[in-house]
Amino acid sequence: MTNLRFTEQPLSEWMSREGKESDIVMSSRVRIARNVLHQPFPMLATNTQSEEVLKLLQQVLGDEQLQAQCQLYPILLADLDELDKRVLVEKHLISPNLANDSRNGAVFISEDESLSIMVNEEDHLRIQCLYPGLQVQEAWEKATAIDDIFESHVDYAFDDRRGYLTSCPTNVGTGLRASVMMHLPALVLTQQIGRILSAVSQVGLTVRGIYGEGSEAMGNLFQISNQITLGQSEAEIIENLYGVVLQIIQHEKTAREKLIGESRLRMMDRVMRSYGILSQAYIIDSKEAAQRLSDVRLGVDLGIIEGVSAQALNELNVLTQPGFLQKKFSGSMSPGERDMYRAKLIRERMGK
C-alpha cells in the first residue's frame, strides 16, 4: 500500500505551475473537515472503530466520479518510518498531528499532489486542495466536488442548527479552512507587518506560520486563513479571505516600490549579500537559510537577480528542511550535520 515516491521528490507537480499573483502568494489551500455519523471522533475511538472508519472511506476510492476527477494513491501511516512522515509534513501533504499521533491514520494523495485526503487525523476525514498563487476559489471548487462524492457514500455527522460536527469546536459549521501562503518581505522590512496583521485579525482572519497552528513564520512567509467557520456560508468565507488578501497584496507591492525607489542600493546590497552567503556558506541553519532565500526571492521579483527561477527557490525551500535533508543524504543527522549538508546542497543548487 505504501507509495514512497511522494517522499522522494521535493517539488510537487502543482508547485511548478503558475498562479495569479504568484510573486506574493505562494499557494492557496482549502481544507474541509468531516466526521462519520455514529462513530466517535478519532481521539475517542478504539482501534477497531478507527479501523472501521478507514475501511469505509477507502471504499470510496473506487467511485467512478472520483476516479474521473483524479487518481488517488492510499498510504497507511503505519507503513511509513518517522523520516518519511516528516517529509510528507514538510510538503504539506499531511499535518504534524497526523504524523505524530494517529490510530489507523492514512492519507490519499493525487498524482500531482494538489489533493490530499487525511483519514483519522483530528477528524475522520480532512480533504485538502493546494493550488499555486491566488486560487482560493478554484481550490474550494475542487475540494467541495470531492466532498460531494464522499458524502454520496458516507453519512456525515451533521446538525441542522450547528452544521457539520467536528472534533474541535472552532471547525463546527462549514468545517472549512481556507488559507493563502504569502511572502511579505517588504512589509517586514518597512516595519508595517505588525499593523497589517493586527488589522487582519479584526476581520475574522488569523495568521499562522508555514506549518499552520503553533508554527513559526520563517522566511517572511505568513499563512492567512479564516478563523470563523460557524455563522458564515462557504462563499462568504472565501469571499472575505480573497478580499483581504488582495488588500495585503497591494500593501506589499507598495512597500516593494518604496524600498526599490528610496533605497535601491541598500536593497541590492542586502539581496546580493544573501545570494553570496547562500552560494558560498559551508554551515547554515534552517532559519538563516529561510531568511536568505526570502531575500533572493525578493531580489528576483524586483529584477535585481536574473537567472534564478521561482521554481528553483520553491524546491530549495523544501529540500533544506530537516526531513528532506536526511532523506536525500540517507541517514539520521545531528543539527550540526544538517547545517553542513544544508549549506552543501544550497551551494550546489546556486552553482547551477
- Specify whether the CB–CB gap between 240 and 204 falls below 8 A: yes
Radius of gyration in angstroms for the set of CA atoms belonging to the chain, rounded to a whole number? 21
pLDDT tens, residue by residue, 242-274: 999 999 999 999 999 999 999 899 999 999 999
**What pLDDT was estimated at residue 210?**
61
Distance CA 160, CA 88 (A): 36
CA-based end-to-end distance of the chain: 37
**What pLDDT was estimated at residue 1?**
40
The binding site for ATP comprises 27-31, 92, 126, 177-181, 208-213
Q: How far is CA 155 from CA 35, 164, 265, 334, in A?
A: 9, 11, 61, 47
The binding site comprises 27-31, 92, 126, 177-181, 208-213
pLDDT tens, residue by residue, 23-41: 999 999 999 999 999 999 9
Cell numbers standing for residue 344:
552543501
**What pLDDT was estimated at residue 218?**
80
**What pLDDT was estimated at residue 95?**
93
* Order of strands across the sheet that contains 125-132: 72-76, 106-110, 115-119, 125-132, 25-34, 176-183, 221-226, 205-208
- Specify whether the CB–CB gap between 130 and 92 falls below 8 A: yes
Cell numbers standing for residue 14:
502543482
DSSP string over 63-76: -HHHHHH--EEEEE
Could you tell me the pTM of the whole model? 0.90
Distance CA 263, CA 257 (A): 10
Eight-class DSSP state of 118: E
Partners of 72 in the beta sheet? 110
**What pLDDT was estimated at residue 240?**
93
DSSP string over 271-299: HHHHHHHHHH-S---HHHHHHHHHHHHHH
Cell numbers standing for residue 81:
518510518
Query: In which residue ranges of the chain is pLDDT below 50?
Result: 1-2, 214-215
